[in-house]
Structure 1
Amino acid sequence: MKLPNEESRINPRKQPKQKRSIKRFETILESAETLIVAHGVAQMKMTDIAAHAGVPVGSVYQFFPEKAAILKAILDLRLKAVMQGIKARLKDVRSEADARARVIDLIEDGAQIHLHNPLCRELWMATSVDPDLAQLQYQAHEDLGAFAFNVLGPFVGERESACERDRFVLASLLTGSVLRCLADGNERAGALLDEWKKLVCDIVLSPAKSASKE
Protein backbone atom coordinates (compact mmCIF):
# COMPACT_ATOMS: atom_id res chain seq x y z
CA MET A 1 0.00 0.00 0.00
CA LYS A 2 1.40 3.38 -0.99
CA LEU A 3 2.02 5.71 1.93
CA PRO A 4 1.46 9.49 1.85
CA ASN A 5 4.57 11.41 0.79
CA GLU A 6 6.41 13.99 2.88
CA GLU A 7 4.35 16.83 1.41
CA SER A 8 1.10 15.10 2.31
CA ARG A 9 -1.79 17.00 3.83
CA ILE A 10 -1.50 14.85 6.95
CA ASN A 11 2.14 15.67 7.73
CA PRO A 12 3.19 18.67 9.86
CA ARG A 13 4.44 21.67 7.96
CA LYS A 14 7.50 21.70 10.20
CA GLN A 15 8.88 19.95 13.23
CA PRO A 16 9.56 22.18 16.27
CA LYS A 17 13.19 22.44 17.32
CA GLN A 18 13.37 25.19 19.89
CA LYS A 19 12.11 24.57 23.41
CA ARG A 20 9.33 27.15 23.13
CA SER A 21 8.12 25.75 19.80
CA ILE A 22 8.19 22.20 21.13
CA LYS A 23 6.08 23.23 24.11
CA ARG A 24 3.55 24.96 21.86
CA PHE A 25 3.43 21.95 19.56
CA GLU A 26 2.74 19.65 22.51
CA THR A 27 0.11 22.02 23.94
CA ILE A 28 -1.73 22.04 20.62
CA LEU A 29 -1.81 18.24 20.54
CA GLU A 30 -2.92 18.00 24.17
CA SER A 31 -5.74 20.47 23.50
CA ALA A 32 -6.78 18.53 20.41
CA GLU A 33 -6.96 15.30 22.41
CA THR A 34 -9.05 16.97 25.10
CA LEU A 35 -11.50 18.33 22.53
CA ILE A 36 -11.69 15.02 20.69
CA VAL A 37 -12.62 13.19 23.89
CA ALA A 38 -15.15 15.88 24.86
CA HIS A 39 -16.84 16.47 21.50
CA GLY A 40 -15.56 13.94 18.96
CA VAL A 41 -13.31 14.21 15.92
CA ALA A 42 -16.07 15.49 13.65
CA GLN A 43 -16.79 18.49 15.88
CA MET A 44 -13.16 19.50 16.43
CA LYS A 45 -12.11 22.68 14.62
CA MET A 46 -8.75 24.36 14.25
CA THR A 47 -10.13 27.52 15.84
CA ASP A 48 -11.35 25.53 18.84
CA ILE A 49 -7.94 23.94 19.26
CA ALA A 50 -6.25 27.34 19.18
CA ALA A 51 -8.66 28.76 21.75
CA HIS A 52 -8.25 25.80 24.09
CA ALA A 53 -4.46 25.88 23.75
CA GLY A 54 -4.36 29.64 24.29
CA VAL A 55 -2.46 30.31 21.06
CA PRO A 56 -3.30 32.24 17.88
CA VAL A 57 -4.96 30.08 15.23
CA GLY A 58 -2.06 31.00 12.97
CA SER A 59 0.24 29.12 15.31
CA VAL A 60 -1.81 25.97 14.79
CA TYR A 61 -1.61 26.34 11.01
CA GLN A 62 2.10 27.08 11.33
CA PHE A 63 2.57 23.45 12.32
CA PHE A 64 -0.42 21.69 10.78
CA PRO A 65 -1.95 22.31 7.32
CA GLU A 66 -5.32 20.89 8.42
CA LYS A 67 -7.10 18.87 11.07
CA ALA A 68 -6.01 15.55 9.57
CA ALA A 69 -2.37 16.45 10.23
CA ILE A 70 -3.15 16.91 13.92
CA LEU A 71 -4.88 13.54 13.99
CA LYS A 72 -1.88 11.97 12.32
CA ALA A 73 0.47 13.46 14.92
CA ILE A 74 -1.72 12.10 17.74
CA LEU A 75 -1.95 8.72 16.02
CA ASP A 76 1.83 8.61 15.58
CA LEU A 77 2.37 9.18 19.30
CA ARG A 78 -0.17 6.51 20.23
CA LEU A 79 1.27 3.97 17.82
CA LYS A 80 4.79 4.67 19.07
CA ALA A 81 3.65 4.03 22.63
CA VAL A 82 1.93 0.82 21.54
CA MET A 83 5.05 -0.44 19.80
CA GLN A 84 7.18 0.35 22.85
CA GLY A 85 4.77 -1.60 25.03
CA ILE A 86 4.82 -4.55 22.65
CA LYS A 87 8.62 -4.60 22.54
CA ALA A 88 8.71 -4.63 26.33
CA ARG A 89 6.16 -7.45 26.53
CA LEU A 90 7.97 -9.62 23.98
CA LYS A 91 11.47 -9.17 25.40
CA ASP A 92 13.39 -12.38 26.11
CA VAL A 93 10.66 -14.87 25.23
CA ARG A 94 11.83 -18.25 26.51
CA SER A 95 9.48 -20.87 25.12
CA GLU A 96 6.33 -21.42 23.08
CA ALA A 97 4.25 -21.48 26.27
CA ASP A 98 5.86 -18.20 27.28
CA ALA A 99 5.15 -16.76 23.82
CA ARG A 100 1.49 -17.75 24.07
CA ALA A 101 1.13 -16.15 27.50
CA ARG A 102 2.71 -12.91 26.35
CA VAL A 103 0.55 -12.65 23.23
CA ILE A 104 -2.54 -13.01 25.42
CA ASP A 105 -1.17 -10.39 27.82
CA LEU A 106 -0.68 -7.99 24.91
CA ILE A 107 -4.27 -8.43 23.82
CA GLU A 108 -5.44 -7.85 27.40
CA ASP A 109 -3.32 -4.68 27.56
CA GLY A 110 -4.95 -3.42 24.38
CA ALA A 111 -8.40 -4.33 25.64
CA GLN A 112 -7.97 -2.33 28.83
CA ILE A 113 -6.78 0.71 26.89
CA HIS A 114 -9.70 0.56 24.46
CA LEU A 115 -12.22 0.06 27.25
CA HIS A 116 -11.05 2.99 29.36
CA ASN A 117 -9.67 5.54 26.88
CA PRO A 118 -12.42 7.17 24.75
CA LEU A 119 -9.76 8.65 22.48
CA CYS A 120 -9.29 5.18 20.93
CA ARG A 121 -12.80 5.14 19.49
CA GLU A 122 -12.37 8.55 17.89
CA LEU A 123 -9.03 7.64 16.35
CA TRP A 124 -10.57 4.49 14.88
CA MET A 125 -13.34 6.63 13.40
CA ALA A 126 -10.79 9.03 11.94
CA THR A 127 -8.90 6.22 10.20
CA SER A 128 -12.19 4.88 8.85
CA VAL A 129 -13.11 8.06 6.99
CA ASP A 130 -9.69 9.40 5.94
CA PRO A 131 -7.85 7.28 3.34
CA ASP A 132 -4.43 8.71 4.21
CA LEU A 133 -4.86 7.95 7.90
CA ALA A 134 -6.19 4.51 6.99
CA GLN A 135 -2.97 3.81 5.09
CA LEU A 136 -0.90 4.71 8.13
CA GLN A 137 -3.04 2.48 10.35
CA TYR A 138 -2.54 -0.43 7.98
CA GLN A 139 1.20 0.19 7.86
CA ALA A 140 1.27 0.08 11.65
CA HIS A 141 -0.28 -3.40 11.52
CA GLU A 142 2.30 -4.45 8.93
CA ASP A 143 5.13 -3.19 11.13
CA LEU A 144 3.70 -4.82 14.23
CA GLY A 145 3.20 -8.13 12.44
CA ALA A 146 6.75 -8.06 11.09
CA PHE A 147 8.21 -7.26 14.51
CA ALA A 148 6.21 -9.98 16.26
CA PHE A 149 7.24 -12.50 13.62
CA ASN A 150 10.91 -11.63 14.03
CA VAL A 151 10.68 -12.15 17.79
CA LEU A 152 8.34 -15.15 17.88
CA GLY A 153 9.49 -16.83 14.67
CA PRO A 154 11.50 -19.51 16.52
CA PHE A 155 8.25 -20.71 18.13
CA VAL A 156 6.25 -20.96 14.89
CA GLY A 157 5.22 -24.48 13.95
CA GLU A 158 5.98 -26.19 10.67
CA ARG A 159 4.13 -24.22 8.02
CA GLU A 160 4.88 -22.80 4.59
CA SER A 161 7.52 -20.16 5.29
CA ALA A 162 5.97 -17.66 2.86
CA CYS A 163 2.78 -17.61 4.95
CA GLU A 164 4.32 -17.27 8.39
CA ARG A 165 4.84 -13.49 8.40
CA ASP A 166 1.45 -12.91 6.79
CA ARG A 167 -0.20 -14.78 9.66
CA PHE A 168 1.29 -12.30 12.14
CA VAL A 169 0.08 -9.33 10.07
CA LEU A 170 -3.36 -10.91 9.83
CA ALA A 171 -3.41 -11.48 13.58
CA SER A 172 -2.55 -7.81 14.14
CA LEU A 173 -5.34 -6.67 11.82
CA LEU A 174 -7.92 -8.95 13.40
CA THR A 175 -6.86 -7.98 16.92
CA GLY A 176 -7.39 -4.35 15.91
CA SER A 177 -10.90 -5.18 14.72
CA VAL A 178 -11.78 -6.86 18.01
CA LEU A 179 -10.35 -3.96 20.02
CA ARG A 180 -12.36 -1.52 17.94
CA CYS A 181 -15.52 -3.42 18.92
CA LEU A 182 -14.56 -2.81 22.54
CA ALA A 183 -13.95 0.88 21.91
CA ASP A 184 -17.32 1.17 20.12
CA GLY A 185 -19.11 -0.44 23.06
CA ASN A 186 -20.39 -3.36 21.00
CA GLU A 187 -22.41 -5.64 23.26
CA ARG A 188 -20.74 -8.72 21.75
CA ALA A 189 -17.21 -7.32 22.13
CA GLY A 190 -16.40 -9.20 25.34
CA ALA A 191 -17.40 -12.56 23.89
CA LEU A 192 -15.49 -11.85 20.69
CA LEU A 193 -12.41 -10.92 22.69
CA ASP A 194 -12.57 -14.15 24.71
CA GLU A 195 -12.93 -16.23 21.55
CA TRP A 196 -10.13 -14.37 19.79
CA LYS A 197 -7.73 -15.01 22.67
CA LYS A 198 -8.39 -18.75 22.21
CA LEU A 199 -7.67 -18.61 18.48
CA VAL A 200 -4.87 -16.12 17.95
CA CYS A 201 -1.97 -18.21 19.25
CA ASP A 202 -3.00 -21.18 17.11
CA ILE A 203 -2.93 -18.87 14.09
CA VAL A 204 0.55 -17.45 14.60
CA LEU A 205 2.26 -20.22 16.59
CA SER A 206 2.02 -23.99 16.64
CA PRO A 207 -1.53 -25.30 17.09
CA ALA A 208 -2.21 -26.24 20.69
CA LYS A 209 -1.38 -29.90 21.37
CA SER A 210 -4.48 -32.00 21.85
CA ALA A 211 -4.68 -35.16 23.94
CA SER A 212 -3.15 -38.13 22.10
CA LYS A 213 -5.55 -40.67 20.72
CA GLU A 214 -5.23 -44.29 21.76
Structure 2
Amino acid sequence: MMFHMMWKIFMGYDGVVTAMNMPNDNARIEPRKQPKQKRSIKRVESILTSAELLLARHGFSHLRMTDIAAEAGVPVGSVYQFFPQKAAVLRAILDQRLGAMMQDIASRLTDIRDENDARMRLMDLIDHVAQLHRDNPVCREMWIALSTDPDLEILQYKAQQDIGTLTLTRLGPFAGGRDGAAKQNRFMLAAILTGSVFRCVALGHERAGAMLDEWKSAVCTMLFQQA
Protein backbone atom coordinates (compact mmCIF):
# COMPACT_ATOMS: atom_id res chain seq x y z
CA MET A 1 0.00 0.00 0.00
CA MET A 2 2.75 2.45 0.91
CA PHE A 3 4.69 1.70 -2.28
CA HIS A 4 1.51 2.22 -4.33
CA MET A 5 0.84 5.55 -2.62
CA MET A 6 4.38 6.78 -3.15
CA TRP A 7 4.35 5.67 -6.78
CA LYS A 8 1.22 7.77 -7.39
CA ILE A 9 2.95 10.76 -5.83
CA PHE A 10 5.97 10.21 -8.05
CA MET A 11 3.85 9.75 -11.18
CA GLY A 12 1.89 12.94 -10.59
CA TYR A 13 -1.76 13.71 -11.21
CA ASP A 14 -1.51 13.28 -14.99
CA GLY A 15 0.05 9.83 -14.75
CA VAL A 16 3.28 10.94 -16.41
CA VAL A 17 6.65 10.34 -14.76
CA THR A 18 7.48 13.98 -14.15
CA ALA A 19 11.14 13.35 -13.36
CA MET A 20 11.66 12.10 -16.90
CA ASN A 21 10.54 15.33 -18.63
CA MET A 22 13.34 16.38 -20.91
CA PRO A 23 14.76 19.90 -20.71
CA ASN A 24 13.75 22.41 -23.36
CA ASP A 25 16.60 24.91 -23.27
CA ASN A 26 19.59 24.34 -21.04
CA ALA A 27 20.99 27.81 -21.77
CA ARG A 28 18.27 29.48 -19.73
CA ILE A 29 19.35 27.72 -16.54
CA GLU A 30 23.09 27.99 -17.09
CA PRO A 31 25.13 30.89 -15.66
CA ARG A 32 26.34 33.35 -18.25
CA LYS A 33 29.81 33.20 -16.74
CA GLN A 34 31.58 31.98 -13.64
CA PRO A 35 32.99 34.56 -11.22
CA LYS A 36 36.77 34.41 -10.97
CA GLN A 37 37.89 37.47 -9.07
CA LYS A 38 37.27 37.72 -5.33
CA ARG A 39 34.96 40.70 -5.76
CA SER A 40 32.86 38.90 -8.37
CA ILE A 41 32.65 35.77 -6.24
CA LYS A 42 31.35 37.79 -3.29
CA ARG A 43 28.82 39.50 -5.55
CA VAL A 44 27.44 36.21 -6.81
CA GLU A 45 27.28 34.88 -3.24
CA SER A 46 25.31 37.99 -2.26
CA ILE A 47 22.95 37.52 -5.21
CA LEU A 48 22.24 33.90 -4.28
CA THR A 49 21.81 34.69 -0.58
CA SER A 50 19.41 37.49 -1.45
CA ALA A 51 17.45 35.21 -3.76
CA GLU A 52 17.05 32.66 -0.96
CA LEU A 53 15.83 35.35 1.43
CA LEU A 54 13.25 36.50 -1.12
CA LEU A 55 12.14 32.94 -1.78
CA ALA A 56 11.52 32.44 1.93
CA ARG A 57 9.84 35.81 2.28
CA HIS A 58 7.65 36.04 -0.81
CA GLY A 59 7.76 32.68 -2.59
CA PHE A 60 8.90 31.44 -5.98
CA SER A 61 6.07 32.99 -7.99
CA HIS A 62 6.97 36.50 -6.77
CA LEU A 63 10.73 36.22 -7.28
CA ARG A 64 11.97 38.92 -9.66
CA MET A 65 15.45 39.72 -10.90
CA THR A 66 14.96 43.39 -9.99
CA ASP A 67 14.04 42.44 -6.43
CA ILE A 68 17.09 40.17 -6.16
CA ALA A 69 19.29 43.05 -7.25
CA ALA A 70 17.68 45.44 -4.76
CA GLU A 71 18.04 42.95 -1.90
CA ALA A 72 21.69 42.33 -2.81
CA GLY A 73 22.39 46.04 -3.17
CA VAL A 74 23.71 45.71 -6.71
CA PRO A 75 22.55 47.03 -10.10
CA VAL A 76 20.15 44.68 -11.86
CA GLY A 77 22.68 44.52 -14.69
CA SER A 78 25.07 42.80 -12.29
CA VAL A 79 22.54 40.03 -11.75
CA TYR A 80 22.02 39.58 -15.50
CA GLN A 81 25.77 39.63 -15.96
CA PHE A 82 25.90 36.21 -14.29
CA PHE A 83 22.37 34.83 -14.69
CA PRO A 84 20.14 35.12 -17.80
CA GLN A 85 16.92 34.73 -15.77
CA LYS A 86 15.65 33.59 -12.40
CA ALA A 87 15.67 29.92 -13.45
CA ALA A 88 19.47 30.14 -13.64
CA VAL A 89 19.56 31.68 -10.15
CA LEU A 90 17.43 28.82 -8.84
CA ARG A 91 19.69 26.30 -10.55
CA ALA A 92 22.72 27.82 -8.78
CA ILE A 93 20.90 27.61 -5.43
CA LEU A 94 19.94 24.01 -6.17
CA ASP A 95 23.54 23.12 -7.00
CA GLN A 96 24.74 24.67 -3.73
CA ARG A 97 22.14 22.83 -1.68
CA LEU A 98 22.80 19.53 -3.42
CA GLY A 99 26.52 19.87 -2.77
CA ALA A 100 25.89 20.52 0.92
CA MET A 101 23.44 17.62 1.12
CA MET A 102 25.86 15.20 -0.51
CA GLN A 103 28.54 16.17 2.01
CA ASP A 104 26.05 15.72 4.86
CA ILE A 105 24.96 12.31 3.60
CA ALA A 106 28.55 11.15 3.22
CA SER A 107 29.35 12.34 6.75
CA ARG A 108 26.31 10.67 8.30
CA LEU A 109 26.89 7.36 6.52
CA THR A 110 30.55 6.95 7.48
CA ASP A 111 32.03 4.06 9.50
CA ILE A 112 28.87 1.95 9.54
CA ARG A 113 29.34 -1.14 11.70
CA ASP A 114 26.65 -3.58 10.58
CA GLU A 115 23.17 -3.89 9.08
CA ASN A 116 21.39 -2.66 12.21
CA ASP A 117 23.64 0.38 12.32
CA ALA A 118 22.98 0.97 8.61
CA ARG A 119 19.22 0.91 9.22
CA MET A 120 19.48 3.36 12.10
CA ARG A 121 21.77 5.69 10.16
CA LEU A 122 19.35 5.71 7.22
CA MET A 123 16.32 6.47 9.39
CA ASP A 124 18.21 9.20 11.24
CA LEU A 125 19.27 10.70 7.91
CA ILE A 126 15.68 10.73 6.65
CA ASP A 127 14.49 12.37 9.87
CA HIS A 128 17.26 14.97 9.64
CA VAL A 129 16.49 15.97 6.06
CA ALA A 130 12.75 15.97 6.72
CA GLN A 131 13.29 18.40 9.59
CA LEU A 132 15.27 20.68 7.27
CA HIS A 133 12.31 20.66 4.90
CA ARG A 134 9.93 21.55 7.74
CA ASP A 135 12.08 24.38 9.08
CA ASN A 136 13.24 26.03 5.87
CA PRO A 137 10.59 27.59 3.60
CA VAL A 138 13.16 27.77 0.80
CA CYS A 139 12.83 23.99 0.48
CA ARG A 140 9.11 24.37 -0.18
CA GLU A 141 9.68 27.03 -2.81
CA MET A 142 12.40 25.01 -4.52
CA TRP A 143 10.03 22.05 -4.83
CA ILE A 144 7.43 24.36 -6.36
CA ALA A 145 10.02 25.66 -8.82
CA LEU A 146 11.10 22.13 -9.73
CA SER A 147 7.51 21.06 -10.36
CA THR A 148 6.73 24.00 -12.66
CA ASP A 149 9.95 24.28 -14.69
CA PRO A 150 10.86 21.26 -16.88
CA ASP A 151 14.47 22.41 -17.27
CA LEU A 152 14.93 22.51 -13.51
CA GLU A 153 12.95 19.33 -13.02
CA ILE A 154 15.44 17.22 -14.95
CA LEU A 155 18.11 18.41 -12.52
CA GLN A 156 16.02 16.95 -9.71
CA TYR A 157 16.19 13.55 -11.38
CA LYS A 158 19.97 13.87 -11.82
CA ALA A 159 20.31 14.86 -8.15
CA GLN A 160 18.33 11.79 -7.10
CA GLN A 161 20.62 9.65 -9.24
CA ASP A 162 23.64 11.10 -7.44
CA ILE A 163 22.06 10.53 -4.02
CA GLY A 164 21.09 6.98 -4.96
CA THR A 165 24.65 6.26 -6.07
CA LEU A 166 26.15 7.71 -2.89
CA THR A 167 23.82 5.81 -0.57
CA LEU A 168 24.48 2.62 -2.54
CA THR A 169 28.21 3.11 -1.99
CA ARG A 170 27.78 3.62 1.76
CA LEU A 171 24.86 1.28 2.54
CA GLY A 172 25.17 -1.26 -0.27
CA PRO A 173 27.57 -3.58 1.58
CA PHE A 174 24.92 -4.05 4.28
CA ALA A 175 21.90 -4.29 1.95
CA GLY A 176 20.17 -7.49 0.96
CA GLY A 177 20.78 -9.28 -2.33
CA ARG A 178 23.78 -9.49 -4.58
CA ASP A 179 25.51 -6.51 -6.06
CA GLY A 180 24.28 -5.66 -9.54
CA ALA A 181 21.52 -3.91 -11.45
CA ALA A 182 18.72 -5.02 -9.12
CA LYS A 183 20.42 -3.52 -6.07
CA GLN A 184 21.25 -0.33 -7.98
CA ASN A 185 17.63 -0.01 -9.06
CA ARG A 186 16.40 -0.40 -5.47
CA PHE A 187 18.67 2.38 -4.24
CA MET A 188 17.66 4.62 -7.15
CA LEU A 189 13.97 3.98 -6.45
CA ALA A 190 14.55 4.65 -2.75
CA ALA A 191 16.16 8.01 -3.54
CA ILE A 192 13.32 9.05 -5.86
CA LEU A 193 10.53 8.04 -3.48
CA THR A 194 12.28 9.54 -0.47
CA GLY A 195 12.41 12.80 -2.41
CA SER A 196 8.66 12.53 -2.93
CA VAL A 197 8.15 12.17 0.82
CA PHE A 198 10.35 15.21 1.48
CA ARG A 199 8.29 17.15 -1.03
CA CYS A 200 5.11 16.29 0.91
CA VAL A 201 6.81 17.44 4.11
CA ALA A 202 7.99 20.70 2.53
CA LEU A 203 4.56 21.47 1.08
CA GLY A 204 2.86 20.81 4.41
CA HIS A 205 0.75 17.84 3.33
CA GLU A 206 -1.63 16.99 6.16
CA ARG A 207 -0.49 13.35 6.21
CA ALA A 208 3.20 14.07 5.67
CA GLY A 209 4.20 12.98 9.17
CA ALA A 210 2.39 9.66 8.90
CA MET A 211 3.81 9.03 5.43
CA LEU A 212 7.30 9.83 6.69
CA ASP A 213 7.03 7.27 9.50
CA GLU A 214 5.61 4.66 7.14
CA TRP A 215 8.28 5.33 4.55
CA LYS A 216 11.19 4.91 6.97
CA SER A 217 9.99 1.39 7.65
CA ALA A 218 9.22 0.67 4.00
CA VAL A 219 12.55 1.88 2.65
CA CYS A 220 14.48 -0.23 5.15
CA THR A 221 12.48 -3.26 4.05
CA MET A 222 13.16 -2.40 0.41
CA LEU A 223 16.91 -1.98 0.84
CA PHE A 224 17.82 -4.49 3.51
CA GLN A 225 15.56 -7.39 2.62
CA GLN A 226 17.34 -10.62 1.79
CA ALA A 227 16.84 -11.38 -1.90
Alpha-carbon distance in structure 2 between the residues aligned to 1:102 and 1:175:
15
Structure 2: give runs of 5+ residues left out of the alignment. Answer: 1-19
Alpha-carbon distance in structure 2 between the residues aligned to 1:70 and 1:161:
38
Q: 1:13 — aligned with what?
A: 32
Q: 1:105 — aligned with what?
A: 124
**1:159 Cα deviation after fit:** 5.3
Residue from 189, 195, 203 that aligns with 2:214: 195
Q: 1:164 — aligned with what?
A: 183
For 1:59-78, what aligned pairs fall within 5 Å after superposition?
59-78=78-97
**1:158 Cα deviation after fit:** 2.4
Relative distance call for 1:5 and 1:88 in structure 2 (3 A) is: farther
Tell me the alpha carbon deviations over residues 53-84 of structure 1, each in whole angstroms, 9 at most, x when there is no partner: 11111000000011100000001111111111
**3-state SS of the aligned residue for 1:48?**
helix
Alignment pair present for 1:49 and 2:68: yes
Tell me the alpha carbon deviations over residues 76-96 of structure 1, each in whole angstroms, 9 at most, x when there is no partner: 111111111000011111100
Q: 2:172 — aligned with what?
A: 153
Alpha-carbon distance in structure 1 between the residues aligned to 2:33 and 2:173:
42
Instruction: Read off the aligned partner of 1:204 and give its amino acid letter.
Output: L
Structure 1: give runs of 5+ residues left out of the alignment. Answer: 208-214
> Could you tell me whether the CA contact under 8 Å between 1:155 and 1:206 is conserved in 2?
no
Alpha-carbon distance in structure 1 between the residues aligned to 2:175 and 2:26:
40
Alpha-carbon distance in structure 2 between the residues aligned to 1:44 and 1:127:
14
Alignment pair present for 1:23 and 2:23: no
Relative distance call for 1:98 and 1:6 in structure 2 (3 A) is: farther
Relative distance call for 1:195 and 1:93 in structure 2 (3 A) is: same
Alpha-carbon distance in structure 2 between the residues aligned to 1:16 and 1:179:
32
Q: 1:211 — aligned with what?
A: none
**1:161 Cα deviation after fit:** 3.0
Further displaced range: 8-17 or 159-168:
159-168
Relative distance call for 1:94 and 1:160 in structure 2 (3 A) is: closer
**Structure with greater Cα Rg:** 1
> Could you tell me whether the CA contact under 8 Å between 1:12 and 1:65 is conserved in 2?
yes
Identity of aligned residues (%): 60
TM-score when scaled to structure 2?
0.87
Q: 2:4 — aligned with what?
A: none
Instruction: Read off the aligned partner of 1:107 and give its amino acid letter.
Output: I
**3-state SS of the aligned residue for 1:9?**
helix
TM-score when scaled to structure 1?
0.92
Aligned residues: 207
**3-state SS of the aligned residue for 1:187?**
coil
**1:126 Cα deviation after fit:** 0.5
Higher fraction of helix: 2
Residue from 70, 90, 105 that aligns with 1:86: 105
> Could you tell me whether the CA contact under 8 Å between 2:177 and 2:183 is conserved in 1?
no
**3-state SS of the aligned residue for 1:185?**
coil
Relative distance call for 1:80 and 1:205 in structure 2 (3 A) is: same
Alpha-carbon RMSD:
1.8
> Could you tell me whether the CA contact under 8 Å between 1:114 and 1:121 is conserved in 2?
yes
**1:11 Cα deviation after fit:** 1.1
**1:163 Cα deviation after fit:** 1.1
**1:2 Cα deviation after fit:** 9.2
